[in-house]
Chains A and B, each alone.
Chain A
């Protein structure tokens, strides 16, 4: 199985606060990979480091074969076009409507004509389960769930092979959250995506993940297939997965 992301001996520090001290993990192609751990353990930080939003002190992160700490501007741009990122709050551009939000990467990076772009946008809107009539609404006019779907559509607009999701189901009601899980599974099968997500949602973790890593006390304490990880005798895993739901 080909590794598309590899994190080796990652060391991150904010001021005096050490967040990661020798973190190791890898993501295989085609996997839905979860990063779990208690609050403040640096899950989102490692995600931000993978997408080059955050610098780290020591170690190495390779994404799609590129070393993100030593990367030329051109390569970085190429890399950024080949992934999609879904932020926790959606982070849609509030001055643009949904159509314009989704069409923006296509208009900037490709030479497709407007008609084809509108077909593609229409398809993306449909694929994430929004209505075509929603296209002209602005982010401030739609609900949290729709905002997540719309920003997923934006993340998918360049047909990336790799998708990063930061707490995809947080802030959604249970029904929407389960819909979102199904959507992620459907998209993985349809578009052949690899997905890396940070999540707290137990149900979603059980339903979607292929492999996962648990970060606790600055390192990855467990990594592997769902069933293998659950049976490990580690305090966080025991309290987290044995919690009644």
Chain B
């Protein structure tokens, strides 16, 4: 029982001989005090007598300390003697001696910098290969599903569409609206200086349609759905649900991965469209209040200068972004190992990597469309 444990010691020192008489409990909570005391006396003694007769209880820590003390003192050529009549305490001391002698936890080897670097590079290379394998499985899954269209899991797809797109309408809409307001407000200030108020329409239309709306939507969805995919699939991996599915012949690619990817690919263009609408709406309000451009003037100008191609450029990025977010999210989920830390680690990685991949993909699109003259 962890009731108040007390250890007191009386000691007498004569002619380099230290006698310590202990009373109380020699346990986890009291040993370190005794250890410090004896250590402080070790310099100038050649003989140590420990009297354990007053000790009422001893535990592993106490017994191990006494045993360690014996071997340390032997090394220092200090003789030690124990006095103890209590059978139970003697038995504890003996039990521990028989176990501990010659059994030590081996030291862990520290790897060198080069070794760490090599291991790191190799692991990254292996992870990349794994992603390629996974990518191949998805592509195979796609073709297989199209060939056997009956195996397409409509119910799961619809479920994922509801979870990851329809429930995200509000957040995507509000975020885009605010970005529209902020962008318009900041540029309104600059445009006023030149008296070029009406160009707010061109600026907003092109930047929102072509770049900002798709990116914004992708970032919100990566944070919302990408992380959810990783956590869901990761938790299923830990509880061996994935293995159970495989043994039952339910291919996780068809049951879990494709529905998520297809759902996002279908819905991403729609979400981008929503983002287009709300962000331009936000800009329109600022144009009215701050620059005095009426709604009908705004819309007239919009109709005049913003070609439909800008809208389609933005929308066309949707499925690609969706594929990247969903496949990275699911892949990271599959990488989760059998421990809880791994879920957090992979979820973070999933969001960071999918946002990064989306931005890289956007840059590639930018180059392609510019070269095509669109």
Contact (Cβ within 8 A) B64 A119: yes
Tell me the bound Cα distance from A79 to B29 in angstroms. Answer: 15
When C-beta atoms are compared, the residue in chain B nearest to A161 turns out to be: B1
Contact (Cβ within 8 A) A190 B103: no
Contact (Cβ within 8 A) B64 A123: yes
Contact of B339 among A119, A122, A139, A161 (CB under 8 A): A139
Contact (Cβ within 8 A) B32 A110: yes
Contact (Cβ within 8 A) B105 A121: yes
Chain A, interface size: which category?
Answer: 35 or more
Q: Which of B92-100, B112-120, B254-262, B265-273 is the interface stretch? A: B92-100
Tell me, yes or no, whether A133 is within 8 Å of chain B by CB: yes
Tell me, yes or no, whether B295 is within 8 Å of chain A by CB: no
Interface SS of chain A:
helix
Contact (Cβ within 8 A) A126 B100: yes
Q: Which of B31, B35, B339 has the most CB of A within 10 A?
A: B339
Query: Total A-B pairs in contact (CB under 8 Å)?
Result: 83
Contact (Cβ within 8 A) B61 A110: yes
Contact (Cβ within 8 A) A64 B1: yes
Cβ–Cβ < 8 Å partners of A95 in chain B? 339-341
Contact of A116 among B29, B31, B340 (CB under 8 A): B31
When C-beta atoms are compared, the residue in chain B nearest to A82 turns out to be: B2
Chain B, interface size: which category?
Answer: 20 to 34
Tell me the bound Cα distance from A135 to B28 in angstroms. Answer: 21
Cβ–Cβ < 8 Å partners of A99 in chain B? 105
Contact (Cβ within 8 A) B105 A112: no
Contact (Cβ within 8 A) B100 A122: yes
Given contacts A112-B28, A112-B61, A159-B59, contact A132 B105 (CB under 8 A): yes
Contact (Cβ within 8 A) A136 B108: yes
Cβ–Cβ < 8 Å partners of B340 in chain A? 94-95
Given contacts A132-B105, A159-B61, contact A140 B100 (CB under 8 A): no
Contact of A127 among B29, B59, B99, B341 (CB under 8 A): B99
Tell me, yes or no, whether B169 is within 8 Å of chain A by CB: no
Cβ–Cβ < 8 Å partners of B106 in chain A? 132-133, 135
Contact (Cβ within 8 A) A119 B28: no
Cβ–Cβ < 8 Å partners of A94 in chain B? 338-341
Contact (Cβ within 8 A) B99 A126: yes
Residues of A at the B interface (CB closer than 8 Å) are: 64-65, 78-79, 81-82, 94-95, 99, 106, 109-113, 115-116, 118-127, 132-133, 135-136, 138-140, 158-159, 161, 190
